[in-house]
């Protein structure tokens, strides 16, 4: 997976590895989707205010044992984010926004303010957290606006009290049109097969195309490009009688790189379900699986880099992630919000996605994952 000039290969590769590690560790039973791109931005911004072991754990989750300095981690992130946003151009709507909503009783350290603005274009909004409903309304309105109304009510009223210092929020919006759109006239009800001989009916879209195709040992992958040629959506379909979780256990930078390098163009009859997903995650439960633990414990968290006022036991009380992801005949629309609250038919071969599958939306050149998820509908 190639990287852009000025950004070391292992920088982007580290972020892909973080994305796949996070996905592998999720509790997965039904359909879900996450945006590693959104989580990475909010997580990096949180790292700016952390020190000691807290900072090391965040850095290690994102970059393994890389030798990058903090300044390089932020500088390369800004370059990568700028590159990906510019790649979108006129064909793809892509926006990623960051903001710190801060309790007006506290003052964010000048160093954090400068880095938040310089590397994340993140403004700081002071709010009266003694009026939680009003503060929550403003934060949720901002997230909704950044995500074109797709992510609503990311922050809850009862998360805020007088001990709340700030919320660090990232919001992402992505909308892209297939290079070759599916015809709605060809969408029809078809069986979708689930384990234990269960099946449901889904709206199955169909099209015949030359697409990048890869045959793995126990799965098949295709990539459907979006207009503009810079982004695509990869579908990984396990072979019959192979469980999706078996494929998911292999997900890694190397696994995705092998697929990408192994793609060959093939003419196929393609059948993909039309679907809508909404997923909510509590990152206080997910990030400790990647050895990020100190930031969630008042006695161990170290955010002495964050605010002017000497405030003991600053820790991350709330860490949430919400995704809305829609796939239809025209293309894909996805949005995500991440918040850290600190407190105290044819002769052609077929690709028939009629059983649970994995998918991800990526920037083709860098391989960076904007969204990754699974389609595994619930019975009944």
User: Between helices 36-48 and 110-120, what is the axis angle to 10°?
Assistant: 150
Overall domain count for the chain: 2
Q: Are residues 202 and 334 in the same domain?
A: no
What letter would DSSP give residue 221? Answer: E
Q: How would you list the strands of the sheet with 92-103, edge to edge?
A: 123-127, 92-103, 164-177, 331-343, 315-327, 275-282
DSSP 148-196: TT-S---S-GGG--TTEEEEEEEEEEEEEEBSSPPPGGG-EEEEEEETT
Residue by residue, pLDDT tens for the chain (380 residues) are 445 658 888 898 999 999 999 999 999 989 999 999 999 999 999 999 999 999 999 999 999 877 888 899 999 999 999 989 888 877 899 999 999 999 888 888 999 999 999 999 999 998 888 898 999 999 999 999 999 999 999 999 889 887 888 899 999 999 999 999 999 999 999 999 998 889 999 999 999 999 999 999 999 999 999 999 899 999 999 998 899 999 999 999 999 999 999 999 999 999 999 999 999 999 999 999 999 999 999 999 999 888 888 787 889 999 999 999 999 999 998 999 989 898 874 456 889 999 999 999 999 988 999 999 999 988 76
Closest CA to 207 of 155, 159, 274: 274
Burial class (CB within 10 angstroms; exposed 0-12, middle 13-18, buried 19+) of 351: buried
Are 254 and 337 contained in the same domain?
A: no
CATH of the domain at 313: 3.30.497.10
Q: What CATH code is carried by the domain that includes residue 261?
A: 2.30.39.10
pTM of the model: 0.93
SS3 assignment, position 61: helix
Query: What's the pLDDT at 174?
Result: 93
Whether residue 250 sits in one domain with residue 126: no
- The answer to whether residues 168 and 213 belong to one domain is no
Q: Is residue 2 part of a domain?
A: no
What pLDDT does residue 345 have? Answer: 46
Q: Is the dihedral of CA 168, 317, 70, 15 positive or negative?
A: negative
């Amino acid at each position: 997976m190639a990287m852009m000039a000025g950004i070391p290969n292992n920088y982007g590769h580290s972020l892909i590895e973080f994305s796949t590690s996070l996905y592998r560790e999720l509790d997965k039973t039904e359909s879900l989707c996450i945006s590693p791109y959104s989580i990475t931005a909010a997580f990096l911004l949180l790292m700016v205010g952390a020190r000691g072991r807290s900072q090391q754990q965040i850095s290690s989750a994102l970059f393994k044992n890389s030798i990058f300095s903090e300044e390089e981690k932020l500088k390369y992130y800004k370059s990568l984010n700028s590159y990906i946003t510019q790649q979108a151009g006129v064909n793809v709507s892509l926006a990623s926004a960051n903001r710190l909503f801060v309790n007006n009783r506290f003052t964010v350290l000048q160093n954090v303010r400068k880095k938040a603005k310089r590397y994340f274009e993140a403004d700081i909004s002071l709010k009266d957290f003694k009026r939680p409903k009003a503060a929550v309304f403003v934060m949720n309105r901002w997230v909704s606006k950044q995500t074109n109304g797709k992510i609503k009510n990311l922050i809850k009223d009862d998360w805020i009290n007088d001990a709340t210092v700030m919320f660090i929020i990232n919001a992402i919006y992505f909308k892209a049109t297939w290079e070759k759109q599916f015809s709605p006239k060809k969408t029809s009800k078809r069986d979708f097969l689930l384990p234990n001989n269960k099946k449901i009916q889904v709206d199955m879209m169909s099209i015949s195309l030359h697409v990048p195709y890869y045959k793995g040992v126990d799965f098949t992958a295709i990539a459907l490009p979006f207009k503009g040629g810079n982004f695509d959506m990869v579908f990984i379909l396990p072979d019959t009688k192979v469980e999706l979780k078996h494929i998911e256990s292999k997900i890694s930078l190397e696994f995705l790189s092998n697929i990408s390098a192994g793609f060959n163009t093939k003419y196929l009859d393609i059948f993909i379900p039309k679907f809508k997903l909404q997923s909510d995650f509590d990152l206080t439960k997910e990030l400790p699986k990647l050895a990020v633990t100190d930031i969630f414990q008042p006695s161990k968290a170290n955010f002495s880099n964050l605010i002017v006022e000497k405030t003991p036991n600053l820790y991350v009380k709330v860490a949430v992630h919400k995704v809305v992801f829609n796939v239809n005949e025209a293309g894909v629309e996805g949005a995500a919000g991440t918040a850290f609250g600190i407190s105290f038919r044819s002769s052609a071969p077929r690709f028939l996605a009629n059983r649970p599958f994995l998918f991800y939306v990526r920037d083709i050149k860098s391989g960076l994952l904007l969204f990754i998820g699974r389609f595994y509908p619930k019975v009944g």
